[in-house]
Amino acid sequence: DRTASAVTVSWKASSGAASYQVEYQSANTSWTWKTETDYKTNTATSFVSTNLANPPNYKYRVRALNSGGASAWVEVNYPGTVARPPAPTGLKAVKRDNTSATVSWNASAGAASYEVEYQSANTSWAWKTETDYKTKTAVSFVSTNLAASGTYFYRVRAVNSGGSSAWVEVKYPTTVNPPPAPIGLKVTDRTASAVTVSWKASSGAASYQVEYQSAKTSWNWTTDSGYTTKTAVSFVSKNLTAAGTNIYRVRAVNSGGSSAWVQVASVPAAPQGCSQSTTVGTVATCIVKLFDQLWQMPTTRSEASDIQRLENLNRNAQNYDEMIGLLTKLMKLDHDMKAKIISNFR
């Protein structure tokens, strides 16, 4: 005969009893026995206990009395024995922005509510009630006012009238290693205005970033707008000029950070006809184009000085020994494509 806030408590009559004594305990009595004021007749074998909490969790005990004394107490739980809920699963904390994170978990069967606590350097690593978790029944909430570079631990347990589950914990931010740098970066299928850039997938990468530089960008790294998917491992770049050089760089990214950049150059083919059998006019034209290519590529101050000196010596047909020396020096540049151009010129 239970309602939302009341229950009927009953027992069989005890032979020789003159009256009965009834007590109860609950969380509201700090689990100490108190006289049940709803039991008023002292001789009845049933009564209605009212004003119960929701959800209820009570113990009742009854004993029989007569002039000879009192019987032993007998007890009953209300409601009957309830199993504690299992611990929540799937607990995770995901970044929303630099100062907040979404904490969520899977619902626990039989749970009436949940308790959430956290700890951090600000709590001296002591567990504190999470005040951002207000509903007590939801399976997610937003934890706010986080330190941008701080580490936090959250723990959650499920609760019902039978008790509490074990705590489950999660660390925020979750430690994730950055992905390795992509390998196999190359440029192929070049036309006058486009080139295919591709690389091999990087283990653990969630996305990629692609940038390029050229004379058009004043040799500043610029996001390549042709790479739109952020997850593909190839795309067509259309930021070329017919005779221009582009340098591309790619890195892999995940929630743990970014890999190192890897780069490759897309350089127009060196002019043809620079051989001993060509005429003086053809060779002169070829050399002018070679210098144009060199000046389109990024250079250090020292390299620029050497190239300028080489150009002046060539223009004036002077000191071939010095020219050979400069060519030999420039051929040792780290940049493969520069070295190829110099080698062609030599």
The answer to whether residue 123 scores a pLDDT higher than 80 is yes
Q: Tell me what pLDDT residue 277 has.
A: 47
Q: Which of 99-108, 188-197, 213-222, 267-276 comes out lowest in average pLDDT?
A: 267-276
Confidence band, pLDDT 50/70/90 cuts, at residue 175: low
pLDDT tens digits, residue range 34-73?
Answer: 999 999 989 999 999 998 887 677 889 999 999 999 999 9
Segment 190-193 long-range contacts (CB within 8 Å, at least 24 positions apart): 190/240, 190/266, 190/268, 191/240, 192/240, 192/242, 193/238, 193/240, 193/241, 193/242
Residue 301: pLDDT above 80? no
Mean of pLDDT values over 136-159:
91
| % pLDDT > 70, the chain | 77
The segment with the largest mean pLDDT, out of 135-139, 146-150, 240-244, is 135-139
pTM over 0.85: no
Give residue 276's pLDDT band: very low, low, confident or very high (50, 70, 90).
very low
pLDDT averaged over every residue in the chain: 82
For range 160-176, the mean pLDDT: 83
What is the structure's pLDDT at 2? Answer: 66
